[in-house]
Amino acid sequence: MPSVEPPVSPVNQDAGGVRYLEIGADHQGQRIDNFLLAHLKGVPRSLIYRIVRSGEVRVNRCRVKPSTRLEAGDSLRLPPLRLNPAAPAAAPTAGLQARLSDAVLYEDEGLILIDKPAGLAVHGGSGLSLGLIEALRAMRPTQSLELVHRLDRETSGCLLISKKTATLRWLHRQLREGQVRKKYQALLVGGLPRERVEVRAPLRKNLLRGGERVVRVDHAEGKAAWTGFLRVEAFAGCTLVNVRLETGRTHQIRVHAAHLGAAVAGDDKYGDATDNQRLSSLGLNRLFLHAAELGFRPHPEADPLVVRAPLPEDLQQVLQRLRHQAGV
């Protein structure tokens, strides 16, 4: 079984096969999980997160979290990793390649902003051999492509992909500092008490038996989360809203909407099965959540840029059927 090659030349290696790597300036500010995912090719995501959380990966001899950010000059400890030869990567079909090529909303020398289709995971894993990032890498083998952020599999819309490490760091910095403006469109099952509603309810991720991830409002141990909802159009039993994210927690919109008593339509995790079945008769067969707009600066010297992704045709048709029911 071949051993995994290190991302940079080791500055030291002990008799047990543990490697010590020195982090260069190119990776200043990068999250350690993203660094390992990018450079330990062929290592399953689950294994990378396990060796970080177990303390086998250390920075300057200290335990770290997956979210720990690297600094130039850090000493990174990697345990010995041995894998069976990796199976050939799944190749994207010609149809998927054409679909992704047509979905590019903006591109420059450092990044791609793509209108992610609903139903396509952003990365492989958990039984999926191919996600959006793997498909793009197969289509562009000479580019160093990395996800800047993530969207749920059933969420469509604006997704940022970096083509350079420096661009990845710059975009992550804007995300950390709240300088990336994110707007979504969602259909809620129920109504809002006012035209504008802000939800500030801390969220905590939980793992259920079997490994399923569920996020709950937790005022004692949750992380701060802030979502703004704006009513756009009201229907019988449903409300179309624009959503503004001030923080970027996992499942934030979905959990805050359910916390209001108006879950996102089609949500099989936080919503109501009876409501979802009723909406399926109108053609809604997925989560009605769309990342409609991103505002950011592509580069430190660039002017602010706003990119919009139109509401997909399947969701537009659901709205038309709701208007027809209301006699509009």
Active site residues: 152
Sheet of 75-78, strands arranged across? 10-13, 19-22, 75-78, 58-59, 62-63
Q: Tell me how far CA of residue 216 lies from CA of 189, 202, 210, 220, 317, in angstroms.
A: 19, 8, 17, 11, 32
Amino acid at 90: A
- How far apart CA 325 and CA 229 sit, in angstroms, is 24
Given a contact cutoff of 8 angstroms between Cβ atoms, the answer to whether 275 and 189 are in contact is yes
Identify each DSSP E strand in the chain by its residue range.
Answer: 10-13, 19-22, 58-59, 62-63, 75-78, 104-107, 111-116, 146-147, 156-162, 181-189, 196-200, 203-207, 213-217, 226-235, 238-245, 289-296, 305-308
Largest CA distance in the chain: 76
CA neighbours closer than 13 Å in the CB half-sphere of residue 245: 28
**Alpha helix ranges (H) inside the chain:** 32-39, 45-53, 94-102, 132-139, 165-176, 252-259, 273-280, 313-325
Q: Are strands 58-59 and 62-63 parallel, antiparallel or unpaired?
A: antiparallel
Residue 84, classified by CB atoms within 10 Å of its CB into exposed (0-12), middle (13-18) or buried (19+), is exposed
Given a contact cutoff of 8 angstroms between Cβ atoms, the answer to whether 243 and 253 are in contact is yes
For residue 241, report the phi and psi dihedrals to the nearest 5 degrees. Answer: -130, 150
